[in-house]
Amino acid sequence: MYTYRFYNDYSEGAHPRLLELLASTNDQQEDGYGNDALSQQATALLQHALAQPAAAVHFVSGGTQANLVVLAALLKPYESVIAAQTAHINVHEAGAIEATGHKIHGVATPDGKLTPAMIQAVVAHHTDEHMVKPRVVFISHATELGTVYSKRELEALAQVCRDNGLYLHLDGARLGPALASAATDVALPDLARLVDVLCIGGTKNGALFGEAIAITTPALQENFRYHMKQHGALLAKGRVLGAQFVGLFRDDLSLALARHANALAARLADGLRQQGVRFLVPVMTNQLFPILPTTLIRTLQEHYGFYVWTPVDATHAAIRLVTSWATPEASVDAFLRAVQP
Amino acid sequence: MYTYRFYNDYSEGAHPRLLELLASTNDQQEDGYGNDALSQQATALLQHALAQPAAAVHFVSGGTQANLVVLAALLKPYESVIAAQTAHINVHEAGAIEATGHKIHGVATPDGKLTPAMIQAVVAHHTDEHMVKPRVVFISHATELGTVYSKRELEALAQVCRDNGLYLHLDGARLGPALASAATDVALPDLARLVDVLCIGGTKNGALFGEAIAITTPALQENFRYHMKQHGALLAKGRVLGAQFVGLFRDDLSLALARHANALAARLADGLRQQGVRFLVPVMTNQLFPILPTTLIRTLQEHYGFYVWTPVDATHAAIRLVTSWATPEASVDAFLRAVQP
Amino acid sequence: MYTYRFYNDYSEGAHPRLLELLASTNDQQEDGYGNDALSQQATALLQHALAQPAAAVHFVSGGTQANLVVLAALLKPYESVIAAQTAHINVHEAGAIEATGHKIHGVATPDGKLTPAMIQAVVAHHTDEHMVKPRVVFISHATELGTVYSKRELEALAQVCRDNGLYLHLDGARLGPALASAATDVALPDLARLVDVLCIGGTKNGALFGEAIAITTPALQENFRYHMKQHGALLAKGRVLGAQFVGLFRDDLSLALARHANALAARLADGLRQQGVRFLVPVMTNQLFPILPTTLIRTLQEHYGFYVWTPVDATHAAIRLVTSWATPEASVDAFLRAVQP
Amino acid sequence: MYTYRFYNDYSEGAHPRLLELLASTNDQQEDGYGNDALSQQATALLQHALAQPAAAVHFVSGGTQANLVVLAALLKPYESVIAAQTAHINVHEAGAIEATGHKIHGVATPDGKLTPAMIQAVVAHHTDEHMVKPRVVFISHATELGTVYSKRELEALAQVCRDNGLYLHLDGARLGPALASAATDVALPDLARLVDVLCIGGTKNGALFGEAIAITTPALQENFRYHMKQHGALLAKGRVLGAQFVGLFRDDLSLALARHANALAARLADGLRQQGVRFLVPVMTNQLFPILPTTLIRTLQEHYGFYVWTPVDATHAAIRLVTSWATPEASVDAFLRAVQP
C-alpha cells in the first residue's frame, strides 16, 4: 500500500461537516427530485455567492453528467462546441457529447486555455450547411493542466462569444481551487456575469459527489429539468445533493477547502523547486506537473500514488501530483524528502 | 405540513447503518470510478446473494440511469424493447430510452405485468427491415402497480425470450419489497438465473441513492463500463455506492428493510379492508391503491401526503399509498383512524 | 410472373413527361445541392399551388427521409410526436424517429385518422419533466388505410394544436390521391394554411423518386438545410428532384395522375361491390381493402400481386389493392373477371 | 453566365446511356426497396468487378448517406472512427457521424492520406473506458485533395487495422477517377480484398445520383438493410439506382467516364505547367489545385466557375478545378488560353 496517493482530489470520502449535515437532516420527509428544502436552501446560497439572484440552479451527480446535460440542452442537432483539445469533454468522457449528437472542435492549446483567436478561427471555417455550426464555447477553470484564466482573458472570451452568437459554458469541476488561486483575479460573481452556464464542482472539493449547474442566461433556463431527467440526472433523493451544497456554501467551507488544497500544492511546488525541479506548466492550483528523472519516478512509485503524465526527454518525464482538501502536510513533506537525493 | 407523507419510499434519507458505514470508511484513500475496495466487497456480496459468482456487477446513481445504460448496451440501433404500457421507461423517464435511439413497444396490461402471449404478439408483427426488431423484454418486479411475478410466470417469460432470441431485463427499483413479498415464490437466485440483466434498487430501500446492475449473461458483460462512462454514470467516488450496497447486503439488511415496508403496507391494507375499502389491484408489496370516496380523499389530503392515482367512478378514485423502511406504525394507525367515518 | 401487380403505387418507373424533362435539361451545368434553376422553378410552382408565396420548399429523396428530417428539425430532445398507431413513422420506418431521439405516442384509431379528443388525451397525460412533452401532431393524408380528412376535421385538428402549442405536420406521401379524392373538400391551399409543415409525395405519384417538404410557419424555416445535410438528405444533383417537381406541378400533371389512380380504384371498387364484396374501410383514394374468401385469395395470388392485409373471420381476409397513375384499365377489368365466380 | 464551370464533377445530369436505361426499363413492374431485377443485376456486376462474389451490395442516394449508414452499422455506441482532418465526414457532412453518436478523430495529414503511424498514435492514446474506443479507419480514395493510395500503402493500412482490431472503410465518392489514375497501381479487386466496406460513387461519375456500398466482411453484412431503412436510405424505387449501376458497370462505362475526367484534368495540368504554374499537391485524378496570382484569379472568375481553395502567400492562392465525364476539351483549352498572359 502507498504511503500517500496524489492521484487525484477524490480519493477520500467527504468533509466531515457534510456527513454531519446528511445525518442531522436524515429523518426529515422531503419531496423528491430536487424539490426539497435542502436543495432550495443550497440554491439560495449559490445565487447569493454568484451574485445572480435569478440564476437557475440544478444539482447533478457528476461532471460528465453535468457537461452532457448542459450541452444537450444548449445545442440544436447541427450545432457544435469549441473546446481545448485536452478538454475533459474531448478526451475523458467516452464520447458523451458525441453520443448526444454533437461535434466537438478540439483546438490545440499549450496550456489548456482557449483564446479569442482560436475561437474566431473555428467560426471562420464553418460557413454553410455542409458543415456544423459552432454554438458553444467550452472552457474549464481550472483547466486539465491546473491553469486558470484571468478576468481580462475571460472578458475577451465573453466578448468574442457575444460577437459571434456563441454561448459560453464554464466547466468548474475544479472551480474551488481556481477561485482560491493566487494566479488569477477572477471572483465567482465575475464568472457568473461573463458566462451563460457554469458548473461548480463538489466531488473534487470535499463532497461525496455532486456538481451544481448555474444557468444565468434566462433563455437557457426553460425546461432544463426535462433534459436532466432524460439523461438520468434527476436524483430521486435530491436532498443528498442539496445538503452537501448547503454545507459547502455555508460559512465559505468550499473556499476554505480549496485554499487548503492549493496551499499544499504550493508547499509541494516550493519544496520541489528548491531541489531544482522544473514544471511542465506553471503551478496555479492544486495540480502540479513536475519534471523528474524517470529513475527517480520509479523509486517514488513504490511509496506514492500518482500518474506519469508525459515523457519530456529520453531520461525525464512529467508526473501529475494532485492535492486536496484532505491532504495532510505530513504527506507532502514526506514526499519532498523522498524526492531528495 | 403533513402528519405523514405516503407519497413514495424515498422521502427520508438513508438507513442509519449506511450513514455509519460512509462515516467509518470516510478517511480511506480509494481508487475512483468503482475500482475501490468497498465496491469490490459489495460486488462479492451481491454475487453471493444472486448465486452468480461470475455476474458482472456495477453501481449507478439512479433507476433511469440504470435503465438507459443497460438498454444502450444491449440494443443495436434498429432494435427495440418490449415493455408494459405503464412501465417506468415508457412513461416516467422523459424519453430516456428513445433518446438513446430505441423504440419501446408499450403493451397494454391490466396489472403492469407482461405475459408470453403479449411478447409473442409484438414479435409476430415485426417481420422485416421496414420495422424495428424487438430484442429486449423489460419487466419490473415489483411493477409500477406493486404487483409481482411468480416463479412460474417468470420461467414462462424466460422461455419465450429464449425461443425468440430476446434478452430479458428486470428492473428492480423496488426489488426489495418484491423479494420480501408473500405473494410470490421467486427468490433472488431464481431471478438471476432467469434474466440476462437485473437492477437491484437501493434508493427506494434505504440508501441515499444507488442501483446495482448485475449482468449474468457473459456476452453482455464486455465493455459495459464504456456505456456507463458515456452516459455520465461512472461516479468518481464509486466508494459511496459500494459502501451503501455493502451495508444493504451485509446481514440481510436489505431484506429486513423491505419486510418492514411490506408489513406496514399490509397493516394499512388490512385496516382499510376492515373498513370495507376495496383496492384497484391486489396488495402484494409496499404500494397500495385503495378506492375511496373523493370527498374523503380531500379531507385526508389535509393531513397526509399521497397521490390520487385514477378516478374510478363519479364519486370514487383510487389513491396510491407507499410505505417504506422508515414508515412508523403510528403513522399507519393514525391514517387508518383518519379514514374511519 | 404476375398478370399485374397491385402491390403498391411505386412498381413502375416515372411518367414519361418527367423522363423527358430530365433528358431535355441534362446538359445544363447547374449548382449543386438544390441551388439549381430547376429546383428554384419547382419551388415557385409549389408556392403558387400552395398559395403560400413565403413557404420554404425543399426536396428530398424519400418519405422516411422527409419525416425524420422534419421531426428532427421541429423537436427539442425531450419533445415527442403524436401519431396514429398505424402511422408510417410508428410502424414502417424502422425506428427512424426514435433514432433521432424522439418518442412517438401511437394512438389507436379505427381508420388511421386522428381526432382532437385523441390529441387532448395524450397532452393531458404529460404534465411534467418526468415525461416527454408532446410537441408535434403527425397526420397522413391520405392515411395508411387510404382514408382522407375533411376540411372541417382538419380545421378542428389545427385548432387543438394551436390551443396546446403543438405543431401540425402532414405527411403527404399519397397527397395526390387525397387531393383528387371525391371524399373530401380539402384543397392544397387549405392544407397549407392549416398545417405547419407539409410533405408532398412524388414517388407514389409518378416520379422516379422525390418528396417535397413545404414549411409554411416562418419560425420553423431557419437552418432547415443543416438538418437535411446532417441526415444525408441534400442530394448533390438536386436538379433531378427539381426537374421532377417542375414536371409534376406544371400543367397540373400531378393532379391528373392522381385522378387516374383514383378512377381506377373506383372502377375496381365498383366492380367488386357489384359482386357483393364488402370493404374493411370506405374507399376514398387509390388504396382499397376488399374482404374476400381466403380460398379465392389463394387463387387470385396465382396471377395477381397484392398483400393480404388482415384476417377478418375464419374464412375471410381483407386484401390491399393499390392502383397508380400507371395502372391500365385492362388490368383492373381482368382482375374483376378473375374474382367473378 | 459562365463559359464553363469547373466547380465540381456533378454539375451536369447523367451520361445519356443511363438515361436510356431508365427509359427502356420504365414500364416494367418491379418490387420496391432494392428487391428489383435491376438492382440484382447491378449487384452481380459489382460482385464480379470486385472479384467478391459473396459481397453484400446496397445502393443509396448519396455519399453522406452512405457514410452515415455504414458507420452507424459498424460502430457500437462507445466506438469511434479515425479519419483525415480534411475528410468529408469530418468537415463536410454537417456532423452526420456525430449525429449517429460517434466521435471522429480528425488526424492532420498534408495530402489527405492516412498512414499506419497516424492510426497507431490514435489507438495508443485510447486506453480505457474514460475514452472512446477507435474501431473504424475511414479513408477516401481519391482523397479530398485528389490524391490516391498505392497498393503498398493500402496493404500497410489494412495490416495496421488487422493488428489493432479495426475495420477499414473506404469512401469512394471519387473511386472512378482513382481507379483510372496513372498515379496508382490499385485495382478494384485489390481494394475489395483489403477493406471491410467500400463505397463506389455514381453521382460524381456520370449518374443522376447513387452510391453503391459493398460489404466484403461477412460479419458486417447482417441486418444492414435495417440501418438503411432507419436512416431513410432505402429508396422505394430502388430500380432507379439499380439501373444506373447496371449502366455504369456494363461494358466498363464507369472506367471510360473516369478516364475522360482524368485525361481532361491532365490536359489542364499540362497546359498550366507549361505556363509555369505550380500545384498545391500533385495532380493524380480529376481535381487539381493550381497556384495562381490572385489578380489573375479575379479575372478568370468573370468567365469560369471554380472555388478558391486556400491563400498561399500575399499575392497567390490555390484554386480548385474539377473535370468530369462531361467536360469538353474545348472548355479546357479555352480556360488555358484565358490563363495565358
Mean pLDDT of chain B: 97
pLDDT band at residue B80 under the 50/70/90 scheme: very high
pLDDT greater than 90 at residue A122: yes
Is B103 within 8 Å of chain C by CB?
yes
State the nearest Cα–Cα gap between C101 and chain B, in angstroms: 4
pLDDT greater than 90 at residue A63: yes
pLDDT at D297: 98
**Contact between D99 and A101 using a beta-carbon 8 Å cutoff:** yes
pLDDT at A341: 74
pLDDT greater than 70 at residue C131: yes
**Contact between B78 and D226 using a beta-carbon 8 Å cutoff:** yes
Is B281 within 8 Å of chain C by CB?
no
pLDDT greater than 90 at residue B191: yes
| CATH 3.40.640.10 domain residues, chain A | 16-251
Q: What is the second-level CATH architecture of the domain D16-252?
A: 3-Layer(aba) Sandwich (3.40)
Each residue's pLDDT tens digit, D102-117: 999 999 999 999 999 9
Find the angle CA(A66)-CA(A68)-CA(A70) to the nearest 5 degrees: 65
Give counts: helices (H), strands (E), chain C: 14, 14
Chains linked to B by 3 or more Cβ pairs within 8 Å: A, C, D
Task: List chain D residues with CB under 8 Å of B76.
Answer: 223
**What CA–CA distance (Å, rounded) separates A244 from A228?**
19
Alpha-carbon separation of residue C245 from B41, C14, C250 (angstroms): 68, 12, 8
Each residue's pLDDT tens digit, A82-115: 999 999 999 999 999 999 999 999 999 999 999 9
Nearest to C229 among A130, A226, A234 (CB): A130
Q: Are strands B211-215 and B56-60 parallel, antiparallel or unpaired?
A: antiparallel
Each residue's pLDDT tens digit, C245-266: 999 999 999 999 999 999 999 9
Closest alpha carbon within chain C to D15: C26
Closest alpha carbon within chain C to D28: C12
Nearest to B225 among D33, D129, D230 (CB): D129
The reply to whether omega before C55 is within 30° of 0 (cis) is no
pLDDT band at residue B1 under the 50/70/90 scheme: low
pLDDT greater than 90 at residue D283: yes
pLDDT greater than 90 at residue C2: no
CATH tag, A4-10+254-339 = 3.90.1150.10
Angle between helix axes A253-274 and A239-249 (nearest 10 degrees) is 60
Is A102 within 8 Å of chain D by CB?
yes
**What CA–CA distance (Å, rounded) separates A218 from A196?**
9
pLDDT at C20: 98
pLDDT band at residue D341 under the 50/70/90 scheme: confident
Which helix (H) or strand (E) segment holds residue B107: the answer is strand B104-107
State the nearest Cα–Cα gap between B285 and chain A, in angstroms: 20
Task: Give the three cell numbers for residue C110.
Answer: 379505427
**What CA–CA distance (Å, rounded) separates D309 from D293?**
13
Is C130 within 8 Å of chain A by CB?
yes
Each residue's pLDDT tens digit, A124-136: 999 999 999 999 9
Task: List chain D residues with CB under 8 Å of C19.
Answer: 19, 22-23, 26
Mean pLDDT of A165-184: 98
pLDDT band at residue A1 under the 50/70/90 scheme: low
Is B234 within 8 Å of chain D by CB?
yes
Task: Give the pTM.
Answer: 0.97
Closest alpha carbon within chain A to C223: A129
Chains linked to C by 3 or more Cβ pairs within 8 Å: A, B, D
Each residue's pLDDT tens digit, B241-293: 999 999 999 999 999 999 999 999 999 999 999 999 999 999 999 999 999 99
Q: Concatenate the DSSP letters of all residues of A24-45 into one string.
A: HTTTS---STT-SHHHHHHHHH
Closest alpha carbon within chain B to D127: B226
Is A76 within 8 Å of chain D by CB?
no
**Contact between D204 and C236 using a beta-carbon 8 Å cutoff:** yes
Each residue's pLDDT tens digit, A253-308: 999 999 999 999 999 999 999 999 999 999 999 999 999 999 999 999 999 999 99
DSSP state of A277: -
State the nearest Cα–Cα gap between D100 and chain B, in angstroms: 9
pLDDT greater than 70 at residue B334: yes
Task: List chain C residues with CB under 8 Å of B101.
Answer: 95, 98-99, 101
State the nearest Cα–Cα gap between A94 and chain C, in angstroms: 19
**What CA–CA distance (Å, rounded) separates D52 from D136?**
21
Task: List chain B residues with CB under 8 Å of A32.
Answer: 7-8, 10-11
Is D98 within 8 Å of chain A by CB?
yes
State the nearest Cα–Cα gap between B310 and chain A, in angstroms: 21
| CATH 3.90.1150.10 domain residues, chain C | 4-10+254-339
Query: Which burial class, exposed, middle or buried, applies to B337 when counting CB atoms under 10 A from its CB (0-12, 13-18, 19+)?
Result: exposed
pLDDT band at residue A207 under the 50/70/90 scheme: very high
State the nearest Cα–Cα gap between A148 and chain D, in angstroms: 24
**What CA–CA distance (Å, rounded) separates A109 from A124?**
18
Closest alpha carbon within chain B to D231: B78
pLDDT band at residue D1 under the 50/70/90 scheme: low
Is A62 within 8 Å of chain D by CB?
no
Task: Give the three cell numbers for residue B16.
Answer: 442509519
**Contact between A229 and C76 using a beta-carbon 8 Å cutoff:** no
pLDDT band at residue C23 under the 50/70/90 scheme: very high
Closest alpha carbon within chain B to D103: B230
pLDDT at B183: 96
- How many C-beta atoms surround the C-beta of residue D182 within 10 A? 11
Each residue's pLDDT tens digit, C82-112: 999 999 999 999 999 999 999 999 999 999 9
The SS3 of residue C59 is strand
Closest alpha carbon within chain A to C229: A130
**Contact between D223 and B101 using a beta-carbon 8 Å cutoff:** no
Mean pLDDT of C210-233: 98
Dmax over CA atoms of chain A, in Å, equals 61
Nearest to A80 among D95, D101, D130 (CB): D95
A16-251 is a CATH 3.40.640.10 domain: yes
Task: List chain A residues with CB under 8 Å of B14.
Answer: 22, 26
Is C225 within 8 Å of chain A by CB?
yes
| CATH 3.40.640.10 domain residues, chain D | 16-252
Is B91 within 8 Å of chain C by CB?
yes
Task: List chain A residues with CB under 8 Å of C228.
Answer: 129
Is B61 within 8 Å of chain A by CB?
yes
Mean pLDDT of A1-13: 93
Closest alpha carbon within chain C to A230: C78
Is D276 within 8 Å of chain A by CB?
no
**What CA–CA distance (Å, rounded) separates D44 from D50?**
10
Find the angle CA(B128)-CA(B80)-CA(B97) to the nearest 5 degrees: 150
Q: Are A85 and D125 in contact (CB under 8 A)?
A: no
Q: CA torsion angle for C297, C303, C309, C315 (degrees, to 10)? A: 10
Each residue's pLDDT tens digit, B122-172: 999 999 999 999 999 999 999 999 999 999 999 999 999 999 999 999 999
Angle between helix axes D329-339 and D253-274 (nearest 10 degrees) is 20
**What CA–CA distance (Å, rounded) separates A293 from A315?**
6
pLDDT greater than 80 at residue D244: yes
Which helix (H) or strand (E) segment holds residue C225: the answer is helix C224-230
pLDDT band at residue D229 under the 50/70/90 scheme: very high
Closest alpha carbon within chain B to A63: B232
**Contact between B26 and A8 using a beta-carbon 8 Å cutoff:** no
pLDDT greater than 90 at residue D232: yes
Task: List chain D residues with CB under 8 Å of A88.
Answer: none
pLDDT greater than 70 at residue C79: yes
Is B324 within 8 Å of chain A by CB?
no
Task: Give the three cell numbers for residue D92.
Answer: 463536410
Each residue's pLDDT tens digit, B310-321: 999 999 999 999
Task: List chain C residues with CB under 8 Å of D27.
Answer: 12-13, 326
- Taking alpha carbons only, the member of A123, A117, A196, A130 closest to residue A164 is A123
Mean pLDDT of chain D: 97
